[in-house]
Structure 1
Amino acid sequence: MSDRLKWGVLSTAGIGMRKVIPGMKKSELGIVHAIASRDEAKASAAAEKLQIPVSYGSYEALLADPEIDAIYNPLPVNMHVDWSIKAMESGKHVLCEKPIAMSAEEAKRLIDARERTGKQVLEAVMVRQHPQWLRVAEIIRSGEIGEVCLMQTTMSFFNDDPNNIRNIPEVGGGALYDVGCYALFLSRFVFNAEPEQVVAMSDIDPNMKTDRLMSGIVDFGGGKQLSFACGTQLARFQTVQIFGRKGRIEVPISLNAPQGGEVTITIDADGTNEPDKMRREVIPASDQYTLQADLAARVFLGETAAEYPIENAVNNMAAIDALYRSSKSHTWEKVASI
């Protein structure tokens, strides 16, 4: 392996084409070497558009390329685990899109694959690398807003296209899988703890059978709670509020921070809720997808240990599993973290 990681991209999925690959191409630690699609013409067009040197008309051909060190996997959710394991068995490390699997039990297969192949597999959760969230963690650790006890978030967008993968339950569509998973990632990040139990309510689209609205409470124990709502057929919105005993932090652009743009967080350190007494911090411009690629490359190159190993992804899936169970049982469900 050279000093710069050579990436292969497994599919021409929209998230990769629009955001992740452009971010990866700015990484000083890696090179986007190849891209694959089951449609050779589509792969060639994607390679030309994003100036990627090599294109393949099958996923198998990409995995067989000896030049490639690591795979970025943005396939539909129901294909994440199988193709990530195939990549690891082909001698490649893997950065796989969120959510990592359809269930925690399925995700556990990746732990076995890592132990068997010696290859790392990480979940692509770009927000954890963004400087605004690192700053939020710093403020919480400083004690400025007191003990943090509550996080509230709403994450939503509108998409009612029945052919869009976000609206096909068999491949991992639905609000909780697509954006609700971020509420769980971020609350676990904020509380630095694993949830104990959850309760949820959902609204199922009568035609597409996906959860188009999911809301819930996630109990972390010790008086710490996440309250969230996520939707796929609501006005586009995202925000996170973090409440401490003394003060509050607001993160208005919590997920889709502009690539190469500044963002602002608001700190109401004294809990006055008076705008003229709040502090607004401008977080310098960055690209969270570049930062994500850099961190993954450092892990894959053996320069650092994984801060969020695949066990972390399994635990996020355990909370998702519990929320889906609760939405059907209409009662509290325990979270089976590992």
Structure 2
Amino acid sequence: MQKVKWGILSTAKIAREHVMPGMQAGKYCDIYAIASRDLAKAQEIAKAFSIPKAYGSYEELLADPEVQAIYNPLPNHLHVAWSSKAAEAGKHVLCEKPLGLDAADAEKLVKVCREKSVLLMEAFMYRTHPQWVQAKKYVEEGKIGELKAIQVFFSYTNLDPQNIRNRSDIAGGGGLMDIGCYPISQSRFIFGKEPKRGLALINRDPAWKIDTLSSAILDFGTGHVTFTCSTQLFPYQRVNMLGTKGRLEIEIPNNAPENKPTRMFYETADGIETITIDTCHQYQIECDLFSKAILEGSPLPTPPEDAIANMKVIDALFRSEKSGTWETV
């Protein structure tokens, strides 16, 4: 079976613990090379994952003619720069979220990839998980009636001042960019359209200056979305979708476990039904679908323009933080 030869830009935790194991379990992925600014570290991870090539710089990996696609899990402020370099080298790009630091930044990358005729996708792995595929189907089929509201909560605790997400001297930090992008993406996915305006209340750490608690309202015209995300609260996540005839709840909507089933709860006037989703690896599904798009020309799970639309909402919420009022998306 033909497989795509992947290169991994950096030895980031998300790559080591989730994406690379997903790729190695996939049908269409072959991790051919990995790069780090520290050659010894690249060699260590390459040995652990049986990866043929290890490079001491990202440039060397991008210059390798065998590499067909790259996965970019670098810090947010490096997404556009290194993904653009990859595109210019003729590599397809799967880039971690958020795609850029703002919508204009994301547009630059989309333009480069389009000009170089390479595929680009923002790595929102949740969209390929069967629980979200089924949730979308339930809503579209009217099983909860007319969708009117979505409520999302997503939090974790990160009190390390040196963590890249907590450093205000480096662009792209804070909770809204790191995890707030999920409820925005999820609500746009389920409503199947873009919000008209957004209102945000954002608290920032007094020392670090990055946002650590954000709550927002998104107005979709036919319904509303409310969400709260935080990087300094007890870890928790949940999504509730409410319609005129029922509701649908996803228990672990974002980092669904790779070693056990997940659950959704479907409630109507007839009672509550627990829907069990078989164990699966959402990163494997994501990377296989991207690889198939390269090999067979099949559609991407999400087009790159979706990433721009998501950033426009984030931009509006940051404007709302400053203006204290609704901001048009």
- 2:78 equivalent to 1:83: no
Q: Which residue does 1:245 correspond to in 2? A: 244
Residue 279 of structure 1 corresponds to 273
Matches within 5 A, 1:155-304: 155-169=154-168, 170-222=170-222, 224-270=223-269, 277-304=271-298
> Partners in 2 of 1:261 and 1:188 — Cα distance?
27
Deviations 1:234-290 (A, max 9, x none): 0000000000011111111011111132001000022x7xxxx20001001100000
- Residues 165 and 171 of structure 1 are in contact (CA less than 8 Å); yes or no, is this contact kept in structure 2? no
Verify the 8 A CA contact 2:68 2:91 in the aligned structure 1.
yes
- Preserved CA contact (<8 Å) 1:248 1:268: yes
Report deviation, 1:329: 1.1
Alpha-carbon distance between aligned partners in 2 of 1:15 and 1:306, rounded to the nearest angstrom:
21
Alpha-carbon distance between aligned partners in 2 of 1:100 and 1:110, rounded to the nearest angstrom: 8
Which one of the candidate residues 294, 319, 323 is aligned to 1:325? 319
- C-alpha distance in 1, partners of 2:45/2:171? 23
Alignment RMSD (CA, Å): 1.1
SS of residue paired to 2:242: strand
The answer for unaligned runs of 5 or more in structure 1 is none
Report the counterpart of residue 306 of structure 1 in structure 2: 300
Task: Name the counterpart of 2:153.
Answer: 154
Retained in 1: the 8 A contact 2:161–2:208? yes
Shift of 1:208: 1.0
C-alpha displacement at 1:115, in angstroms? 2.4
Deviation track 1:199-220 (CA, whole Å, cap 9, x = no partner) reads 0001100111110000000111
**Counterpart AA for 1:161:** D
3-state SS in 1 of match to 2:310: helix
Cα distance between partner residues in 1 of 2:305 and 2:297: 20
TM-score, length basis structure 1? 0.95
Q: Which runs of 4+ in 1 moved over 3 A?
A: none
Contact 1:110 1:310 in 2 (8 A): no
- Unpaired segments ≥5 residues, structure 2: none
| One-letter identity of the residue aligned with 2:307 | A
Shift of 1:305: 2.2
Partner of 1:145: 144
Tell whether 2:94 aligns with 1:95: yes
- 1:31 Cα deviation (Å)? 0.3
CA distance in 1, matches of 2:282, 2:274: 21
| Aligned equivalents of 1:258, 1:241: Cα separation in 2 | 19
The answer (yes or no) to whether the contact 2:198–2:219 under 8 Å persists in 1 is yes
Matched, 1:123 2:128: no
Is the Cα contact below 8 Å between 1:174 and 1:211 reproduced in 2? yes
CA distance in 1, matches of 2:24, 2:197: 40
TM-superposed CA distance for 1:143, in Å, is 1.0
Q: Which letter maps to 1:234? A: L
Q: Percent identity?
A: 45
Which whole-Å CA distance do the structure 2 matches of 1:69 and 1:288 have between them?
22
Asked if the contact 2:290–2:301 (Cα under 8 Å) also holds between the matched residues in 1, the reply is no
Contact 1:76 1:171 in 2 (8 A): no
